[in-house]
Structure 1
Amino acid sequence: MSSPKTVRWGILATGGIAKTFTKDLLVDPQTRGVTHIKHTVVAAASSSSQSRAEQFLKETGCPASAKAYGSYEDFVKDPDIDIVYIATPHSHHYQNAMLALEAGKNVLCEKAFTVNAAQARELANKAREKNLFLMEAVWTRYFPLSVYVRELVTSGRIGPVARVLVDNSIASDPEAAFSDGKHRLVNPDLAGGALLDLGIYSLTWVFQTLYHTQDEKTRQPPKVLAALKHYGPTKAADEATTMILTFPRSEEAGGEAHAVATTSLRVATMPGGLKDVPGIRIQGPQGEIQVFGPAYRPERTRLVLKDGTVEEKEWPQPGPGKGSGWYNGFGGGKNAEGEGHGMFWEADEAATAVVEGRKEGKYEGLDESVLIMEVMDEVRRQGGLRYPEHIETTKYPTHV
């Protein structure tokens, strides 16, 4: 057996999602049955100060040899970085990813990929021009649970999917929780709102079950009908958005299929945090697939067939395990001891692609990422939501 290849990561930004990703990244891949690659972190950058990057490297347990940078421009010049993980707010993804691509770096960029489809197309074109790997970090697509659900769809056990219902909502009190208007969920200068931050997961489940599972040569973009409620205090972000998508298909493939994708800052998919409500239902004439837990980090599936058959599966996250003293989590939450958050699956895919010389992700290529941005563009157009020009622009560089 050949020894695993080590892929060297650079972490661009040092906020909460970067910490969660990096801690997961450094878990031994063998704990999840991965033996062909290893991950290491060779550099991290904070736009505010080098000392903040140094603190980040310590907090996440990176090797002592990892370098800290106080500027993204200096960071992307580091010759030891194989791939850059971009963890800034999505309002800044275009500028940050373009900086890394221009410097000749492979890129894994957090979701939502960009603010609009024009920016996504520019990034895809730049990556192809420079023959670099570029992938949107839609971590959920790489969970074994998601792979299983897609396999259920393509196996035909529920028949051709006729309808998908997905909600990803959080019961916050935005006026109280984000009273200064600066939080990424409501701030127009961070492309704030439910759609780009939360609704992307609703669309992820729609697309990975109703679009990605179709034949690449014949699948077609959906038609979109949307309703968008503006957030009162700013009128420049959405607090609730509902999307009805119609996917054209041949009669042989089941004919036209529908999806309803919803998101909200003010109501909850799972009131009180109870996980007995399936936020995702994938329905066909022979039954349905139900997915439990938040849309972004699902934990359980139930297959319910027309003949009364019920198959339930639990999908625990691997990690160092109990007794390890190791913890990870996100947004103030903490997972059980030794339980990873689930961000290592997308890291494994990105690293594998770099080692193999592939330029796109296996479970969501660049064209699909662009298409999903086009859908969100249309949703915002119908809802009359546009962000400031310096956030929407494709001009590079623009310092924001």
Structure 2
Amino acid sequence: MAPHIVRWGIMATGWIAEIFTNDLLIDPNVRDASDVAHQVVAVASSSSKDKAEQFISARGITTPCSAYGDYETLVADPNVDVIYVATPHSHHYQNVRLALEAGKSVLCEKAFTVNAAQTKILVEIARKKNLFLMEAVWTRYFPLSIQIRELIQKGEIGEVLRVVADTSFGDDVEAKWGTTHRMVNPDLAGGALLDLGIYSLTWVFQTLYHTLPRDQRKPPTVSSQMTPYHLTGADESTTMLLSFPTSTPSNGPHPQQSHGVAMTNIRVSADPDEKGSAGPPIRIQGTKGEIQVHGQPFRPESYRIIPKKGAGEIREVQCPFPGNGKGMYWEADEVARCLRDGKLESEGLPLEESIVIMELMDEVRKQGGLTYPQKIESTEYPLQL
């Protein structure tokens, strides 16, 4: 059977768009995905058509691919099936809405938007217009993540009661990021939480929330602490303690709470020597043992299962990235299958779950007193940013 071909439009030409597009161009057969295929048919830069043309030639895209110097023309292109939005989070609401209003399905980089109110409106529009919409949390679609969720659901480590996840990079913040870089710039919704903390939350949610049947998933309460970066006010460190009213997988006869500890920091590192000497950044702890995830939380390469004493051997599982890919092709394959099957959202990250996570980040920002400029928090549309 011929693979289902999806034609992509790429919105923005920064480094994340480069990584995603490079992955799209890798032959799906190297990762045993013979049922779908990807074509990049249009690329847009908001600053100039030249930039889009340079992006296309630098990637070596050989199929016919249009270059645009604005996003309006991109979303109007009849050859495009789905738009990948790769702009800063500050612009996601305006950019995704532009695509949806033009009748295009969308895969939007994380964090979905700046706040939950924006995400809810986008979800409403997508549903009203019968369009596919998904937040691009690539880590969720790794075979490694899927295997770990299945191990939890099978009861491999018993009832999971605690998950600790740390996504932190120890940088000289002043020297490396200054005041204008998107990581620390409030005008671009910068800061550790929305950029990196989302991965710590991804691990907490995909193990403690997503592993339950949909009708049993209940949002957690959160208590958090935040340290602002003295030069811009964006958060440089955020620590969150989440309490879920249920445990997983059985949520047994005496339901227990489970706890998630989600940390992020741009001044201290979870892996100071970058050799893994500091131990696993993610620990998933159950009544019968634990799963430790090794490597960067957003792109881990292996995990180990450590049973309780006397209950079996430690197992180490390697999860390589075929074809020298970064791993973004797996989320693209998910989009392709959803579009092929007429689905409007992905079961791997339902829109309801994206909303719950955005609401949680809203609450964390409220507790930490972190607000962004009114313009990028706004739900007004269209708005020139």
Q: Return the TM-score normalized by structure 1.
A: 0.93
For the residues of structure 1 that align with 2:50 and 2:43, how far apart are their CA atoms?
11
Asked whether the 8 Å contact 1:160–1:254 carries over to 2, the reply is no
Paired residue for 1:292, among 291, 294, 307? 294
2:245 is aligned with 1:248: yes
CA offsets 1:89-137 (integer angstroms, 9 cap, x no match)? 1111110000000000000000000010000101100100100000000
Paired residue for 2:314, among 304, 310, 314? 310
Asked whether the 8 Å contact 2:220–2:245 carries over to 1, the reply is yes
From the superposition, tell whether residues 127 and 240 of structure 1 become closer, same or farther in structure 2 (CA, over 3 Å): same
Paired residue for 2:343, among 358, 381, 384? 358
Asked whether the 8 Å contact 1:171–1:266 carries over to 2, the reply is yes
Asked whether the 8 Å contact 2:243–2:260 carries over to 1, the reply is yes
2:61 is aligned with 1:62: yes
Asked whether the 8 Å contact 1:279–1:293 carries over to 2, the reply is yes
Paired residue for 1:343, among 314, 317, 328? 328
CA offsets 1:239-276 (integer angstroms, 9 cap, x no match)? 00000000002553751001100000001111121124
Deviates more, 1:299-308 or 1:122-131: 299-308
Asked whether the 8 Å contact 1:162–1:254 carries over to 2, the reply is no
Please name the residue that 1:336 is paired with.
none
Query: Per the alignment, in what secondary structure is the counterpart of residue 284 of structure 2?
Result: strand
CA offsets 1:181-202 (integer angstroms, 9 cap, x no match)? 1111100000010000000000
Map 1:207-218; keep pairs closer than 5 Å: 207-218=205-216
2:203 is aligned with 1:226: no
From the superposition, tell whether residues 90 and 253 of structure 1 become closer, same or farther in structure 2 (CA, over 3 Å): farther
Q: Which amino acid aligns with 2:132?
A: F
Asked whether the 8 Å contact 1:14–1:53 carries over to 2, the reply is yes
For the residues of structure 2 that align with 1:127 and 1:253, how far apart are their CA atoms?
39
Asked whether the 8 Å contact 1:42–1:63 carries over to 2, the reply is no
For the residues of structure 2 that align with 1:299 and 1:223, how far apart are their CA atoms?
31
Please name the residue that 1:367 is paired with.
352
Please name the residue that 1:239 is paired with.
236
For the residues of structure 2 that align with 1:291 and 1:372, how far apart are their CA atoms?
21
Q: Which amino acid aligns with 1:266?
A: R
Please name the residue that 1:183 is paired with.
181
Query: Per the alignment, in what secondary structure is the counterpart of residue 281 of structure 2?
Result: strand
Query: Per the alignment, in what secondary structure is the counterpart of residue 183 of structure 1?
Result: coil
2:175 is aligned with 1:171: no
Please name the residue that 1:330 is paired with.
none
Please name the residue that 1:393 is paired with.
378
Asked whether the 8 Å contact 1:240–1:264 carries over to 2, the reply is yes
Please name the residue that 1:282 is paired with.
284
Extract unaligned runs of 5+ from structure 2: none
Map 1:72-87; keep pairs closer than 5 Å: 72-87=71-86
* Structure 1 position 64, deviation (Å): 4.8
Asked whether the 8 Å contact 2:28–2:34 carries over to 1, the reply is yes
* Structure 1 position 355, deviation (Å): 1.1
CA offsets 1:272-311 (integer angstroms, 9 cap, x no match)? 2112420000001100000000000000100000025201
For the residues of structure 1 that align with 2:325 and 2:173, how far apart are their CA atoms?
29
Q: Which amino acid aligns with 2:258?
A: A
Extract unaligned runs of 5+ from structure 1: 320-338
For the residues of structure 1 that align with 2:7 and 2:332, how far apart are their CA atoms?
11
For the residues of structure 1 that align with 2:215 and 2:266, how far apart are their CA atoms?
37
Query: Per the alignment, in what secondary structure is the counterpart of residue 373 of structure 1?
Result: helix
Query: Per the alignment, in what secondary structure is the counterpart of residue 291 of structure 2?
Result: strand
Please name the residue that 1:382 is paired with.
367
Q: Which amino acid aligns with 2:331?
A: E
For the residues of structure 1 that align with 2:216 and 2:168, how far apart are their CA atoms?
33
Asked whether the 8 Å contact 2:39–2:63 carries over to 1, the reply is no
CA offsets 1:210-252 (integer angstroms, 9 cap, x no match)? 00001211221000000000011112x0000000000002553
- C-alpha RMSD of the superposition: 1.0
Asked whether the 8 Å contact 2:133–2:345 carries over to 1, the reply is yes
Please name the residue that 2:112 is paired with.
113
Asked whether the 8 Å contact 2:4–2:336 carries over to 1, the reply is no
Query: Per the alignment, in what secondary structure is the counterpart of residue 278 of structure 1?
Result: coil
Asked whether the 8 Å contact 1:23–1:61 carries over to 2, the reply is no
For the residues of structure 2 that align with 1:251 and 1:30, how far apart are their CA atoms?
42
Please name the residue that 1:325 is paired with.
none
* Structure 1 position 174, deviation (Å): 1.0
Query: Per the alignment, in what secondary structure is the counterpart of residue 375 of structure 1?
Result: helix
Please name the residue that 2:36 is paired with.
37
Give the number of aligned pairs: 378
For the residues of structure 1 that align with 2:225 and 2:232, how far apart are their CA atoms?
18
* Structure 1 position 141, deviation (Å): 0.2
Query: Per the alignment, in what secondary structure is the counterpart of residue 266 of structure 1?
Result: coil
Query: Per the alignment, in what secondary structure is the counterpart of residue 75 of structure 1?
Result: helix
2:190 is aligned with 1:192: yes
Please name the residue that 2:151 is paired with.
152
Please name the residue that 1:205 is paired with.
203
For the residues of structure 1 that align with 2:198 and 2:253, how far apart are their CA atoms?
30
For the residues of structure 2 that align with 1:61 and 1:361, how far apart are their CA atoms?
30
